[in-house]
A = this chain, B = another copy of it.
Amino acid sequence: MASLIRKRINKKITKALFDFSLIEPHDKILVAVSGGKDSTTLLLELAARYGRWQVPFEMEAIYIQSDFASGTPKDFLQTIADKFPFPFHFLDIAVAKRVKEGFKLNCYWCSTQRRVELLEFATSRGFNKIALGHHLDDIIETLLMNMLYKGEFSGMPPRVPYEKYPVSIIRPLCYCEEEEIVKYIRETEFAQFTCTCEFARESRRKTIRREIEHLTQGSSTLKQNLFKSMRNIKMDYL
């Protein structure tokens, strides 16, 4: 029998899939996996719907290993890969040597490199959607960071098409809080891994995360409200 937290995550993902039409008939979805708790949750939940969802869709998973950070042990990822009937790709990319002399590697640069590789892989193989593991906390952090540091009301949409590529990003975990994902993953056999990069998250994001905890007193309702405000814009009152 599914535990409460599994039911909860399942329900939130189903709601996101419906609310934002994240899966449409005959979508070919590439799930970006890091070995961390978020994308592992995403993979498990999409895999559970694979072949039995109300609309038929194809899915494959990809793990991009860069030479910058040591990352998740490949045998762990192989264990995950072996569990599923769909293809699981391992892509090795050399990021470090791409850095121009005098420049330092950083999170932003590394993630941009990985993103480009991901997009090229997806489009060259006919995927029309890329599923990413960003959750509610990631999204409202980005929203507040963009407001505070860029003076811009923008975030990470649950579904957004790329302008330059014939592919859309989807974020099925957009209603799930990180705390819920932590609990969820603890109940699976993949509990031992959480984060893949020893350089971890940027410090600004860490700060904003603490600020949001402070601001919302950890209240789920208030966090959901921040998320909701992104699609509830009163132009006459701005």
Contact = CB atoms under 8 A, between A and B. Distances in A.
Copies in the complex: 2
A233 interface: yes
Nearest to A228: B151
A231 B238 contact: yes
Label chain A's interface by main secondary structure.
Answer: helix
A196 interface: no
A156 interface: yes
A215 B225 contact: no
Interface size class of A (residues with CB under 8 A): 20 to 34
B148 A216 contact: yes
A150 B225 contact: yes
- Most B C-beta atoms less than 10 A away, residue of A148, A156, A157, A160: A148
B151 A232 contact: yes
A155 B225 contact: no
Contacts of A160: 236-237
Contacts of A222: 148-149
Q: Which 8 A-B pairs have the closest CB atoms?
A: A151-B228, A151-B225, A154-B234, A154-B237, A147-B229, A153-B233, A230-B238, A153-B229
Given A149-B222, A233-B238, 5 more contacts: A150-B225, A151-B225, A155-B238, A211-B215, A214-B214
Interface of A: 144, 146-157, 160, 211, 214-216, 222, 224-234, 236-238
